[in-house]
Structures are given as structure tokens and as C-alpha cells.
Structure 1
Amino acid sequence: MPEQGKYKIIPGVEITGIHSSGRAWGYHGNKKIYLDAAVPGDVVDVKVPKRYRGFLAGTIERIVHPSPHRIVPFCKHFAVCGGCNWMPVRYEYQLELKRRILLEAFQKYEIEISSLPTVYSSPQTLFFRNRCEFAFSAAGNVVGFHPAGNPHQVFETEECFLQPEPSMSIVRKIKETALAMAIPFYHPEEKKEGLRKLVLRMASGGDLMVLLGGTGIPAETLKRMAKEVHSVFPQIGSVLYEEMMADDRSAAIQLLSGYREVWEETANGLRFFISPHTFYQPHSVQAEKMFGRVVSLLDLKGNERIIDLYCGAGTFTLHVARLAAEVIGIDGSTSAINDAIRNAEVNGIHHVKFIQGDILTTFTPTFLQRCFSPDVIILDPPRAGTLMEIKKNIVAARPAKIVYISCNPVSLAWDMKFFIPYYRITAIEMYDQYPHTHHVETLVMLERR
């Protein structure tokens, strides 16, 4: 093994696999070597700075033979940015790899499925996201993203292919205006006053929300800056600001410019008003398709009673409520539940109830005795999956059908292992909401055995 400085260079490693983290791997002897920016099919020389027990981790020193699935990254920031980690991979092959990760996770937990999951590709692989978050840094007065693996630094982002224009034009205008008005940028080590973050949300219908976060900036200064930005981009619905503490907690959000403190998206004829801290699926087109697919898979007859766990702003809840007898949505986020209640009113859906509370302490056997025995349970849990006690309560409720939406194939497979003795998988579909990354949304339909 050649040496170069303090690194070991391993020549001619054939990349054959992909990990659920998105990192590719090959073998050196009987040990796996994990690499960023590698593509299955590559043959590469690998720089290994450190050995771990049982495996190696390194970086590409040289591509000896490129994979037939490798392409040239189209963004100038790929080498430093931590966002689009699969940009060197041909898009059609990205979809194959996402399905492979899911199948390997299911195989690990001995879960059998009758057919390969359908993967719904993104109709747009560029400029598809409805939300992007940028950071400010006093080190060089830059606005942009964090480098891969370094959340305390920010690099100047000159281009980004996630959101359509006027996204980057708004970013540049805010930076220009802030510097002209001598508004400081935040320094994470000194923790003095300054602008800290910028969130842009863009709806499929054109609605735009700008949320600024900072520390210790006078309100009048912020309003003058917002007015200047709004004058150049009148299509912005609102410019908002939240005061942030040193530990990243935030105070109440205030409206600097515009006419409302929410962002509006539409899906399948429903209107959804989303507050700054409420989650909405990041790819509006794919989300709309997934919402509609849940309704069609359930084949509702009009007499069903449904519970939606982790309901958020009521996106799945209100879609199924249009064809069900009674629906309850539960979520731990106060802002999300407030949005869900408003969304039900806006859409004229009155036979739905939303409850704010932790799922573990709210969705209990006592709760089920008080409300009703559900015919369907929908859950869209966080990336880590759902807790064992919640899974036990779902099975004890004996719904005829369960719809599980997941953004993590590994935690999905782990949770499916629990459900399989009681339920069988009747549909499994993947929706690519995150082109050029290893992330994917998976929809699973289960029916009671």
C-alpha cells in the first residue's frame, strides 16, 4: 500500500455497493471502504486518512476508470457543498440505487415483498424544491450553505439548482441591502448581533415567503431592509423575522413587510396555509401525487373512521377526510396543529378533529376507548421511525389498513418487521422528492391478515 504523507493510498478499488447513508463502497481485502462522491462501477485510488474497527473510510485520490453511470457535476459548488451528494450519478441510476437501498434494508430484516417497488421519478430534476435555507456568516460577510460536515462555516453560494428564480436573486438582493445598511452578519464563535439565517419558501402557484432570523437587530432597521427587498420583488407575499437566541431558540415571529404570516400551497383542489415553522413536503409536485395516491389506495367508501398520526398541517388528513366519515389528526407541533385547524376551515371540512400532543402520550389505549376504533391509521413519522409503544398501540387498535409514509428506508424496514406478523404489505411505492441525493419518500400500504 503506497504512502503519501500521513495518508495511505489504496490503488484500484472497485466500487460495487451503496450504503443507506448515500456513500458508495468497495472492498480492500475483507474490509469495506466507504467513500463520498464515488459511483458503483468506478475503479478508484483511495486516500485513507484513518482506519476504523471493521471498515475503512476515505476519499477519492484518482478515478482510474469511471463508472458508466458517472456524469460531470453541473454545480460549481459540488466539491464543497453538502447538499446534492449524488450529483455525479446519472439520474436514472439514482432511482435504481434508491430502490436497491430499500430492498437491502428489507432483506436485512427478512421482509418479503411480492414485487419490486414502483419508483416515481421527479418530473423536474432541477429547480424543484419549495424550501431552501441559507446562512449568514461574518467571516467574509457571506451568505450561502454550510460546507459538507462543517455546520459552523458558510461558503458564498453563487448558484443553486434547487429552487427556481427569483430565489438566488432574492438572496443576492438581501445580502446587498444588508451590507449597504451596515447590518452585521452573525459570528457563531463571538455570538454577537447579526443576521443568521434566510429561509425561502416558494409555492407551486407562485406564493413566496421570506423568513429572516437574527440576533439583536433593531426592528426599524429590519423593516427598512424588508421594504427595499419587497420593492424589487413585489411577488413576495411576506417578509418575516424571528429573533434567535444563542442556543438557536427563537422568539415570536414578526411581519416586516407583506400582508400575512403564512405561505399558501395547493394540492388536488385543497388549499394549505403553512406557518414558517410548520413542515410541508419539500417537492410540491411529488407531494400532490403522493397525497392523491393515498386516497386511491385506501379506496374509501364514505363510512371509514381514520386516525392520522404525525399529521402536520393536515395534508394527508384533509385529503382522506373528503371521502371518510370521521377523521382525527394528532401532532406534537402547536404551529402545525393550528395550521391544520385553519386548513380544515378554509377547505370547508368540518368532520375532522385535530389534537396537539405527543403521539406517545396521546395515542394510547385510553384515548382509543374514548374516541373510536379506527378503520385506517395513517402515520408519517420522523426520520428515525416510530416508537415501539406506538406500534403496539397501532396493532392493538386493529385497523383494517395502515398507511405508512417514510423518508428513511432503514427505519421503515425496522418498523415493518414489527407489523408483518399482523399485517401484509399490499403496496409499496417510492416517490423521489430529492433528486441528486440518496433520500426518498416511501409509501407502504398494509392490510390486516
Structure 2
Amino acid sequence: MLKKGDIVQVKIEDMGNDGEGIGRAEGFTLFIKDAVIGDTVQALVMKMKKTYGYARLMEVTEPSPDRVTPACPVARQCGGCQLQSMSYEKQLEFKENKIANHLRRIGKFEEIPMEPIIGMEHPFGYRNKAQFPVGRNKEGKLVAGFYAGRTHSIIDNRKCILGVPENEIILEKVLSFMEEYAIEPYNEETGTGLVRHILTRYGFRTKQIMVCLIINGKVLPHKDKLTESLCQIPGMTSISLNVNMEKTNVILGREIISLWGQTYIEDYIGDVKYQISPLSFYQVNPVQTEKLYGQALEYAGLTGGETVWDLYCGIGTISLFLAEKARKVYGVEIVPEAIEDARNNARINGIHNAEFYVGKAEEVLPRKYREEGITADVIVVDPPRKGCDESLLETIVQMAPEKVVYVSCDSATLARDLRYLCDRGYELRRCRGVDQFGETVHVETVTLLVRKG
């Protein structure tokens, strides 16, 4: 009988949704973080349940042919990347299988019209946004980096290889400034200290840079010295403070105080230009986002005469892509600032056939349908991780668009929602993964539903 503290040898035969290796020992299933399919490992049992347990990887005694040396020296401690020990080809296979398994198990689909996953040419250096927590380590040294997996312990890492090289320069300058002027980082336990996070954004096409310090207050002492230092970085466009004085795990507060330059940076997806503020939701991988939206556009099959609804539209990223090919696009988003950004983005691109509404999609859509008779030929949804509200799915069924294009960042909730729609008159015609997040377990999925006869 396995128990906590036992050391066992395990052959890894599968991987879980979170990238953990799965093997068996003495009849029990063990989940082992950092192990790769095909590895034989020695592992220390950490916790046991009735039929399964969790173990810590101690040694890889026989490496999998798909195992590679992680490019990042702190990959194992840091919670950001889960798949760096696996070859990129195998990562793509893992993600494709993850989507298919969710559609089978949760969605109960027997035939899955999967198309080959769209991978990345360069699975490093792709993130245009980073949020670095700031604190002190056990020795009292000022650190910035990322939280270790499932903790709020900061792994000092100023050189994240998923981000842009400029991030390292920015962190060096901000931490040097804090040390020189004795500005304390925020302490989660006591609620004291000033600087909580350093947020950076980078325009891949425009080369514009944004730096925003999230602070536990409204004033940053010696702020002119910081702006003077940061302005030496080529491309610096926007420097601001974000006020968050709550005792919370939520990173950003609502108030932005501009210190220097514009309150936004600009970047492009395809030919569409977007203004991005510190609070804007904007896809973190612009190269793959263009492929993702291109796929959604292909699935929509627009000919120029369609009325399209884009639900959970954010700052209008997909809406404006669709507007170039549709007769009319309506976007809905609950965040008022995002809708302001969407309207502004339509204006700066000279797009006049897109209208945007603030509110819950599940409330706005039925109201417009009932009161104004606005119908839809195509509905595009790109909801948050929790998927669509059931009342929204109900309204989609009532409006009966010819096509529904569902873009998802969580294939489990996608499978649930597709099952709802396919039980009520729709058929799953096409499905494709797009890797937006190389070296991690996350994957985007685009699906096409067509109304039956």
C-alpha cells in the first residue's frame, strides 16, 4: 500500500490537462509535475487519496525521447510554463489531444472534425504583456519575477524568455530606482509597502512600450526620476501608475494616473490598428492572434451581406476584423472602458459598420432581438474561461443564426456549450486549435457550428 514519503519508480504513460505526468505504481495512479510522457522517473509520494496520489519528481532515470532541456533556468520553480521540458512538436500534440478529449468526454461528440493545430514559428519571446509582482525574498533582497506554482512566493526572474528583451531593462531600472529612493514593495501579509506589480506592454509592429506601476497608494515619491530613467529606453511611449489599495489578489485597480507620454500604446493585428491602455484586454500573442482571427473569419465565411454579432467583444479586436467583410457588426461587452476603446478603435480605422453596446451579452442580445428585431446571420462568441451563460446560449438558439463561430480559451467549457447548442439544432462542422501560449498548457480553439436544415 503506497503512503506519503515512499519513493517509487514510475513509467509516465499519459499527461493531465495541467501538464502533469501520469503513471501507475502498486495499482495507484500518480500525478507527477514536470514529468513527460515516455519518462521513467523516481518520485516521492506527497499525498495519497483512495485510488490516486500526487508525487514529486526526484530524478528522471530514463528520459522520454520527447524530453528537452528547458531553455529557462527557473522553469521548474516558476508557475508560468508547464511544458518546457517537452519538445514543441509534442506540446502541439498534447494540446490537440486535450481539445479532442474534452469534446469527447464532456461534449459527448463521437465524430470530431479536427483540423491540424496551428503552431508557432517561434515559441519564445511572443508575449506583448507581462505583470511582474515585486517583493523581498527571505534574505530581504528586492525581487521581481513570477509566482511559484500555486503559491505567492516570488521567483526572481527578470529575464522571462516568453516576454520581450525590453522587460529585463525595465525591471532593472524600476528596481534600481526603488533601491536608490528606499521605496518599499507591497507586503501581502501586512498590507504595507507601495509597489505591488510592474506591468509592461509592447507593440510588436509599432515598437511602442508601456510601463505601468501598480501601487498601494496614489503618490509615487521621486516619480520624475523614474520617468527620466525609463525614457532612456528606445520606444518608451506611456508611463503611468495604477492605484490598487485593496487587500486582494486582483492585480489592477480602476484608477490610472498618467506620469509621462500617452495613456496608451498602439499596435496592429493584420491591417487593423488598436489603441491599448493598461486596463485593456488584448491578446498577448499578436502573431498567433492574427492567425486565430483569420481562422474565425474563414469559418464565418462572410460574403459582405451578413449581420454579425460579436459577443464578449473586448476592445473590438474580432469585431473590427469581421467588419471588413460583413454588412454590419454589433459588439457587446460588459466593461464600459472596453466599449469606449472599441468605438475609438473603429473610428481610428475608419470603420463605420460596427456598433458597440455596454452590458451583459445575455441581456443585450435578447433585448435587441425582441425590441428592435435585430437578427443575426452569424454569431461569434469569445467568452472568458468560464464559457457562455446558459441564457445567452438560449438566445442564440432562439435567434437561429445560420452559423455560430465559437472561439475559446478553455476547451472544457467549450465542449459543454457546444453540446448545449448541438442538442438544439446545430451541428459541429469544423474545429481547430491555435497555439497562442507556447511552453504552457493553454490553447485556443476555433469551432464552426452550422444550423441543421
In structure 1, the residue matched to 2:192 is: 192
Q: Is the 8 A contact 1:227 1:257 kept in 2?
A: no
Aligned to 1:77: 74
**How far apart are the structure 2 equivalents of 1:387 and 1:217?**
37
Which residue of the partner structure matches residue 224 of structure 1? 225
Cα distance, 1:31–1:345 mapped onto 2, change above 3 Å: same
Distance 2:86 2:315 in 1: 34
Q: Look up the SS of the partner of 1:187 in the other structure.
A: coil
Q: 1:92 & 1:320 partners in 2: Cα distance?
A: 31
Q: Please state if 1:433 is matched with 2:430.
A: no
CA distance in 2, matches of 1:160, 1:213: 20
Whole-angstrom distance in 2 between the partners of 1:112 and 1:274: 41
User: Identity of counterpart residues, as a percentage?
Assistant: 28
Using the TM superposition, give the Cα deviation of residue 220 of structure 1 relative to its aligned residue in structure 2, in angstroms.
5.2
In the TM superposition, residue 222 of structure 1 has moved relative to its aligned partner by 2.3
1:39 alignment partner in structure 2: 36
Alignment map for 1:293-372 (pairs within 5 Å): 293-364=295-366, 367-372=369-374
Residue in structure 1 matched with residue 448 of structure 2 by the alignment: 445
Question: CA, structure 1 residues 331+271, in 2 after alignment: closer, same or farther (shift >3 Å)?
Answer: same
Alignment-derived partner of residue 243 in structure 1: 243
User: C-alpha offsets along residues 14-36 of structure 1, whole Å, 9 cap, x if unaligned?
Assistant: 11112222222112344321111
1:10 and 1:46 in contact (8 A); partners too: yes
C-alpha deviation, 1:268, in angstroms:
1.7
CA–CA distance in structure 2, aligned partners of residues 41 and 252 of structure 1: 50
Residue correspondence of structure 1 range 35-434 to structure 2 within 5 A: 35-108=32-105, 109-139=107-137, 140-151=141-152, 153-205=153-205, 206-216=207-217, 218-219=219-220, 221-230=222-231, 232-248=232-248, 250-258=253-261, 260-364=262-366, 367-421=369-423, 422-434=425-437
Give the RMSD, CA atoms, in angstroms. Answer: 1.8
User: Which blocks of at least 5 consecutive residues in structure 1 are unaligned?
Assistant: none
* Alignment-mate amino acid for residue 192 of structure 2: K
Write the letter of the residue equivalent to 2:366.
Answer: T
SS of alignment partner, residue 360 of structure 1: helix
- Cα separation, 1, equivalents of 2:218 and 2:360: 35
Deviation at 1:368, TM superposition (A): 4.5
TM-score by length of 1: 0.94
Distance 2:363 2:136 in 1: 43
CA contact (8 A) 1:193 1:216 kept: no
Partners of 1:27 and 1:440 in 2: CA distance = 27
Q: 1:419 and 1:113 mapped to 2: Cα distance?
A: 16
Displacement, 1:298? 2.0
Instruction: Extract unaligned runs of 5+ from structure 2.
Output: none
Q: Single out whichever of 179-188 and 27-36 deviates more from structure 2.
A: 27-36
Q: How far has the Cα of 1:45 moved from its partner? A: 2.0
TM-aligned CA deviation for residue 256 of structure 1 = 0.8
Q: For this pair of structures, how many residues does the alignment match? A: 443
Are the equivalent residues in 1 in contact too, given 2:42–2:61 (CA < 8 A)?
yes
In 1, Cα distance between equivalents of 2:73 and 2:391: 47
* 1:24 matched residue in structure 2: 21
Distance in 1 between residues matched to 2:79 and 2:378, nearest whole Å: 39
Is contact 2:159–2:165 with CA below 8 Å preserved after alignment? no
Tell which deviates more after alignment, 415-424 or 74-83: 415-424
Contact 1:137 1:143 in 2 (8 A): yes
Q: What is the letter of the counterpart of residue 210 of structure 1? A: V
Please report how far the alpha carbon of residue 362 of structure 1 lies from its aligned counterpart in structure 2 after TM superposition: 2.4
Alignment deviations for residues 61-81 of structure 1 (CA, whole Å, 9 cap, x no partner): 222211111111121111210
- Structure 1 stretch displaced more, 406-415 or 208-217: 208-217
* Equivalent-residue separation in structure 1 for 2:289 and 2:93 (angstroms): 20
Aligned partner of residue 323 in structure 1, secondary structure: coil
Q: Which amino acid aligns with 2:235?
A: Q
Paired residue type of 1:125: P
